[in-house]
């Protein structure tokens, strides 16, 4: 751990030298960057005896497959030349894949099989599992991290037999969940809780029609889906399936795996194009957030990623895509029920947090997916003014009072802030 921290500190000093001229009038932003850049490695990372890496989310002592991937993404540029960073990221990927093989329906895991959990839910329990809310993105993120790591470093040692077997299990699960009510073994019920924490219909979720898309029980916010086909998560799956095709051909030389991934990708893509686009009377063709395939749509966006706002960040469509631009105008307006505008900020929040709470992740994603210099600068100013004088990012904050915020220790938001600074400033 000490060697890695020293390595990051050395790299950070170099980054600060590069950033100073660009942020010569933004000393607070520079200070925030330093704090956020170190946050994952200094506060949420454990190196384990089995040579894997356990990265917990912050103020909750569990590893989320999604969060842990996002928490290290800003370190990828260092991995090309730093063996210590390589060890950390490869160790994380191996542990993530181990967890997926234990239970591919779970979203968050314990450091050891200690039976710790968020709640005693009615589902298949496992002592390794902190929470078993099935979310498509939980399986996308580790595969994306592995792919980006390969592209950054050229290293292929992580793509062993276990990695390949895990890919096959993910493809099988996504195929089963194309026909969720008929084929899926997954059930999830939580009692004496908000309705967003449990699935209706005896834990199966409400009925869905076959569309080609793959079903999700929960959103990346860990809130239950209103309709079972979560469009941005299916978009993420399309991107990751294309990664799998490339890995199958280039690393494994396995045409069967490539064709299996290609077939599923095409089916999900067709489902998005056929069932996931809504003709809005004001904005024209936009992507819905969710649908059930029976003609019902949920028109909204949530700050958590994958989101509709994050489509270019995910790599599904370019930022100038016409349907994305229509969707962007919709979700950054009061037509989106989770868009708030207050005295100090405006942006996207989430039903996961109180009314009028904007998420830093949503603001940062707005900046990352923009090519408008004024919009990017406005986002930067908002981030600077809404840290609550902590020098860190948070989950949600009151758009009228940034000193009222949720989750003072939320490493995902800190890491994404660093990505924004490095890519856009």
Q: What is the pLDDT of residue 216?
A: 98
Angle of helix 27-43 relative to helix 2-19, nearest 10 degrees, comes to 160
- Evaluate if residue 357 carries a pLDDT over 90: yes
- Evaluate if residue 6 carries a pLDDT over 90: no
**Of 13-17, 256-260, 384-388, the least confident:** 13-17
Question: pLDDT tier at 376 (50, 70, 90 boundaries)?
Answer: very high
CB 241 within 8 A of CB 265: yes
Give the pairing type, strands 297-298 and 290-291.
Answer: antiparallel
The helix or strand, by DSSP H or E, that contains position 47, with its residue range, turns out to be: strand 45-47
Interatomic CA distance for residues 143 and 149, integer angstroms = 10
Burial of 202 (C-beta count, 10 Å sphere; 0-12/13-18/19+)? exposed
- Evaluate if residue 9 carries a pLDDT over 80: no
Q: What does the DSSP assignment read for 67-90?
A: HHHHHHGGGHHHHTT-HHHHHHHH
CATH topology for 60-333? Glycosyltransferase (1.50.10)
Interatomic CA distance for residues 384 and 399, integer angstroms = 14
**Of 3-17, 62-76, 328-342, the least confident:** 3-17
With a pLDDT cut of 90, the percent of the chain lying above it is 92
- Evaluate if residue 7 carries a pLDDT over 90: no
Question: pLDDT tier at 124 (50, 70, 90 boundaries)?
Answer: very high
Interatomic CA distance for residues 257 and 45, integer angstroms = 33
Q: What is the pLDDT of residue 180?
A: 98
Average pLDDT of the segment spanning 43-68:
96
Average pLDDT of the segment spanning 42-46:
94
- Domain-by-domain residue ranges, the chain? 1-43+338-425, 60-333
- Evaluate if residue 4 carries a pLDDT over 80: no
φ and ψ of 285, to 5 deg:
-70, 125
Question: pLDDT tier at 57 (50, 70, 90 boundaries)?
Answer: very high
Burial of 54 (C-beta count, 10 Å sphere; 0-12/13-18/19+)? buried
Interatomic CA distance for residues 325 and 275, integer angstroms = 19
**CA dihedral sign of residues 182, 199, 356, 65:** negative
Average pLDDT of the segment spanning 52-75:
97
pTM value > 0.95: yes
């Amino acid at each position: 751990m000490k060697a890695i921290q020293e390595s990051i500190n050395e790299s950070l000093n170099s980054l600060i030298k590069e950033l100073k001229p660009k942020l010569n009038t933004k000393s607070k932003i520079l200070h925030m960057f330093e704090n956020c850049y170190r946050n994952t490695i200094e506060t949420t990372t454990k190196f384990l005896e089995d040579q894997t890496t356990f990265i917990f989310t912050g103020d909750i002592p569990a590893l989320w497959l999604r969060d842990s991937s996002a928490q290290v993404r800003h370190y990828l540029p260092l991995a090309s030349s730093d063996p210590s960073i390589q060890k950390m990221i490869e160790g994380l990927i191996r542990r993530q894949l181990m967890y997926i093989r234990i239970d591919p329906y779970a979203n968050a895991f314990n450091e050891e099989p200690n039976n710790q959990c968020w709640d005693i839910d009615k589902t298949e329990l496992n002592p390794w599992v902190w929470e078993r809310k099935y979310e498509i993105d939980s399986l996308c993120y580790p595969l994306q991290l592995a792919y980006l790591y390969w592209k950054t470093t050229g290293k292929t040692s992580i793509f062993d037999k276990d990695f390949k077997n895990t890919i096959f299990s993910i493809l099988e699960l996504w195929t089963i969940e194309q026909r969720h009510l008929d084929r899926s073994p997954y059930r999830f019920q939580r009692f004496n809780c908000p309705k967003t924490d449990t699935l209706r219909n005896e834990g199966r979720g409400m009925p869905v029609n076959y569309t080609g898309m793959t079903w999700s029980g929960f959103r990346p916010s860990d809130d239950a889906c209103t309709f079972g086909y979560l469009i941005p998560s299916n978009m993420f799956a399309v991107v990751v399936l294309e990664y799998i095709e490339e890995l199958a051909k280039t690393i494994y030389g396995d045409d069967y795996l490539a064709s299996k991934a290609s077939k599923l990708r095409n089916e999900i893509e067709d489902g998005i194009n056929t069932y996931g686009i809504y003709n809005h009377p004001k904005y024209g063709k936009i992507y819905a957030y969710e649908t059930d395939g029976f003609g019902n749509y949920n028109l909204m966006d949530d700050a958590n990623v994958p989101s509709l706002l994050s489509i270019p960040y995910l790599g599904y469509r370019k930022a100038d895509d016409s349907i994305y631009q229509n969707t962007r105008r919709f979700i950054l307006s009061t037509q989106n029920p989770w868009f708030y505008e207050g005295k100090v900020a405006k942006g996207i929040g989430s039903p996961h947090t109180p009314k009028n709470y904007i998420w830093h992740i949503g603001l940062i994603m707005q900046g990352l997916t923009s090519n408008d210099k004024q919009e990017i600068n406005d986002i930067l100013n908002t981030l600077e003014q809404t840290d609550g004088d902590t020098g860190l990012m948070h989950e949600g904050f009151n758009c009228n009072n940034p000193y009222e915020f949720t989750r003072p220790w939320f490493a995902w938001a800190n890491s994404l802030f660093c990505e924004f600074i490095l890519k856009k400033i």
